[in-house]
Amino acid sequence: MTDEAERCAEAELETDPALPEPDETPASAEVPEEPEETEELRQLRRGLKKTGVFLILLAVVFVAAFTAYIVGTIRLAKERERAYHFVGFSPAGDGEFTLTADARALGTDSLLLASYNSRTYYNALCDADQQVYRAFETALENGWEEVYLDDTLISSCRHTPTEILVLLALDSPFLEQNIHTIEGHRFSRYVPKGEIAPFGMMVSGIRVDVDNFSPARLAKKKEALTKAKEIAAALTGKTDREKADAVYRYLVEHVSYEGERTFDRSDYLYDALCRGETNCDGFTNSFSLLSSLLGLKSFEKSYYVEEGAIGHTWNCVQIENVWYNVDATFAQGYLAGNRGRADEDKMILVRFSTFGFPDSRQKQPHGFEELTPVCEEDLTAPDLVLESSTAVPCVDAVSAVLERSEKPYVLIVSNFMLRETDLQEIANRVGALHASSFGPSDKEIYYVLRLK
């Protein structure tokens, strides 16, 4: 077929009226409507929505309750694992007592013991020791003779109840260190749920009986406080050193050591300030109280030896941010018979030995050294320290110091006794001398050499 014939055939096909036209939908054709929602259907739908919300809320409540249960169970388990520490008191002393879970919150600064307490030892104690400390403090202040300590508390303490009571006495000028106590009485009690713990439990431990702050004894302590305030008001001094020196001098000059008397049940603070005679505990308590009234920081130290032997107690005072030992008891003992009116040279020697000295010069170790500041310095430095007993170097050294001294005397510390020939040689070189010596121990001797 030729090309022209093909073109004619195509043209016929395009114009053939017999071929059907594409099917077209009239624009005006109607779309079928959706069936109208009935009232029953709408109510059903609303009901389903409410049910779904309720189920969701129920699930949330269930999850919250279950979570709270789990958390509470874990917390209760931890509470049961925790070592509860209880202390108790019997105000009537009849065996009926109440318990508390934290005795540290019992004391207040309005109490006599707490008002002038240095808190030196208390601040160095562990939590369990502090609770026992506060329990004793509260009982003594209120005149309660029975203190109950549970076994878990005692097992957590680093010190025994008796030791903690001694530490309270070392912190407080109103408490004697040989306070009478009896411990060892066992007790056991069931504590209902919610009373002091979130569950019921059995508490057992020991009862400690203390007998110190009876009404009559408390009245004496308050009388001693009144006297101390009068004394402090009359003492002069602006610097720490002047204040500490004023307290030291007052005790040395106005209080005597009464070594022959039995002090088993004595009121040491009252004896010292109101009667003018006491033992080392009275000197120490008086120094602590007077220092506190003058704004000085101080606390007490002590050492104890075997049962039946005599221990000793003295003070530690902070002067210009440095801690020093002070022992007014020994000072008064060395000056016995003079009541402070000793010759000046002897007073210089005694003061050097007992006022502002380091721990290294204390003959007996302090019983609780790990809880207290260290005293490392002399408040008054010696002019010369002799460590060799060779006569010529010794004489040369002493003569040289004495010749250039601006004071009318020199203070010498020696680990040996100067011979009379050495003193005579010194006198020949620098002129006539007056010498005084004082030996607190056979390994340390102090001299005051003075130009006449």
Average pLDDT of the segment spanning 101-124: 74
User: Is 313 strand, coil or helix?
Assistant: strand
Judge residue 101's burial from the number of C-beta atoms within 10 Å of its C-beta, 0-12 exposed, 13-18 middle, 19 or more buried.
middle
Rounded Cα distance between 129 and 55, Å, is 55
Token representation of residue 48: 């389903």
Q: How far apart are CA 187 and CA 153, in angstroms?
A: 14
Task: Please give the torsion angle defined by the CA atoms of residues 70, 71, 76 and 82, in that order, rounded to the nearest 10 degrees.
Answer: 130
Other residues' Cβ atoms within 10 Å of the Cβ of residue 6: 10
Domain ranges of the chain: 87-213, 217-371, 384-451
**Residues 6 or more apart whose Cβ sits within 8 Å of residue 423:** 433, 435
- pLDDT tens-digit profile of 125-170? 998 899 889 888 888 887 787 888 888 888 889 999 888 988 999 9
Residue found by looking up tokens 């010069």 in the block: 361
Confidence of residue 340 (pLDDT cuts 50, 70, 90): very low
| pLDDT band at 92; cut points 50, 70, 90 | low
On the question of pLDDT at 394 being above 50, the answer is yes
Tens of pLDDT, residues 40-88: 777 777 777 777 777 788 888 888 888 887 776 666 455 444 445 667 7
State whether residue 198 is helix, strand or coil: coil
pLDDT in tens, 193-249: 766 666 666 777 788 887 767 778 888 889 999 999 999 999 988 999 999 999 999
Residue 144 to residue 93: CA distance in whole angstroms: 7
Helices then strands, each counted (H, E), the chain:
14, 15
Q: What is the DSSP letter of 34?
A: P
Q: Is 258 exposed, middle or buried (0-12, 13-18, 19+ CB in 10 A)?
A: middle
pLDDT at 105 over 60: no
Tokens describing residue 161: 């109840």
> What CATH number is given for 217-371 in this structure?
3.10.620
CA dihedral over 96, 101, 103, 107, signed as positive or negative: negative
Choose between 241 and 396: higher pLDDT.
241
What phi, psi does 261 have (nearest 5°)?
-80, 145
- State the residue for tokens 């929505």: 49
Distance CA 131, CA 182 (A): 19
Domain 384-451 superfamily per CATH: TusA-like domain (3.30.110.40)
Chain centroid offset of residue 411 CA: 39
Per-residue pLDDT tens digits for 300-326: 998 876 554 558 899 999 999 999 999
Sign of the C-alpha dihedral computed for residues 340, 345, 351 and 354 taken in this order: negative
Assign 342 to helix, strand or coil. coil
Interval 255-277 mean pLDDT: 78
DSSP assignment of 114-155 equals HHT---TTGGGS-HHHHHHHHHHHHHHHHT--EEEEEHHHHH
Residue with tokens 């030892």: 121
Query: What is residue 391's predicted lDDT score, i.e. its pLDDT?
Result: 55
CA distance 62 to 67: 8
Residue 104 predicted with pLDDT over 50: yes
Element (H, E) at 161: helix 161-171
Question: Pairing between strand 256-257 and 277-278?
Answer: parallel
For residue 417, what is the DSSP state?
Answer: P
State percent of the chain over pLDDT 70: 71
pLDDT in tens, 373-388: 999 999 988 888 887 6
**Cβ contact 316:326 at 8 Å:** yes
- The mean of the pLDDT values for the chain is 77
Query: What are the tokens at 404?
Result: 């250039």
Q: What are the distances in angstroms from CA 414 to CA 203, 218, 431?
A: 60, 47, 22
Q: What confidence tens digit (pLDDT) does each residue in 18-39 have? A: 545 555 555 555 556 656 667 7
